[in-house]
Amino acid sequence: MDRGQQRRLPIFEAAMAVFSEKGFEKATVDEIAERAGVAKGTIYYNYGSKRELFLSLVEEGIKRLENAVKKEIARRKSIPAKLESLITVQLRFFDDYKNYCKVLLSEVWGQETRWEETARRIRSGYLSIIRELIDDGRKEGVIKKELETATAASALFGMVGIAALDWFLFEKEYPYDDILNTLKTLFFTGANCVKT
């Protein structure tokens, strides 16, 4: 949402809806225009091209996720506490912006050739937040040294993201808190029972 033009908001929201329902290719500018209640030309007047509209959407979303995460992390002292709120925030974000996350995963994570630069920026932007936390944790001795940082970061993102999507999109039988707890337990202490 770069500037305050009132025309951009409805377009932005219609675009989010259509892109997440249809994917980038199947989404048509006609439909976005119709849902936004503006003429097709207005979209081009404001965004230049379908691709630009899409990218501005993606950028905006990731910015929101990063901000939300950074804000929460700053509040916590210990690394584990920071990682815990990262899980909480990412899960909530995936819930709040289901559609956006679907788009993110399917278009941007999937077809790196087409969104090359944007994809790379998004990935490294968000993942490096996680990576830094894990790295700091390893140095402080609260995170296992034997974990390879980058892999652990991707894994954390993946476990939260995929679990969230599967839950939001397909199964809803068990409560939200169960997911959150399961993910935290899994990440911090693993699946194995501690032998006593």
Partner DNA sequence: GATGAATGAGTTTTCATTCAT
Partner DNA sequence: AATGAATGAAAACTCATTCAT
Give contact residues for a copy of itself (rule: CB under 8 A). Answer: 21-26, 80, 83, 102-103, 105-107, 109-114, 120, 123, 127, 134, 137, 141-144, 146-148, 150-152, 154-163, 165-167, 169-171, 174, 178-179, 181-183, 185-193
User: Is-contact 153 131, C-beta < 8 A?
Assistant: yes
Q: Which of 14, 15, 16, 27 binds DNA (CB under 7 A)?
A: 27
Q: What's the min distance (Å) between Cβ of 137 and DNA? A: 45
Q: How far, in Å, CA of 14 to CA of 33, rounded?
A: 8
State the nearest-atom distance from the C-beta of 196 to a copy of itself, in Å: 11
Among 45, 96, 166, 181, interactor with DNA by CB under 7 A:
45
* Nearest one of 104, 107, 36, 26 to 64, comparing CA atoms: 104
CA distance 153 to 75: 21
Q: Which of 35, 40, 123, 138 binds DNA (CB under 7 A)?
A: 40
How far apart CA 11 and CA 96 sit, in angstroms, is 19
Distance of closest approach, residue 180 Cβ to a copy of itself, in angstroms: 9
Contact 27, 45 (CB under 8 A): no
d(CA 172, CA 166): 9
Told to check if 35 binds DNA by CB under 7 A, we report: no
From candidates 1, 2, 21, 28, binder to DNA by CB under 7 A: 28
Question: Rounded to an integer, what distance in angstroms lies between the CA atom of residue 26 and that of residue 40?
Answer: 16
What is the gyration radius of the CA atoms in the chain, in angstroms? 19
d(C-alpha 24, C-alpha 30), whole Å: 13
Size of the site for DNA (CB under 7 A): 20
Q: Which of 9, 51, 67, 110 binds DNA (CB under 7 A)?
A: 51
- Enumerate binding residues for DNA (CB under 7 A): 5-7, 26-30, 38-42, 44-46, 48-51
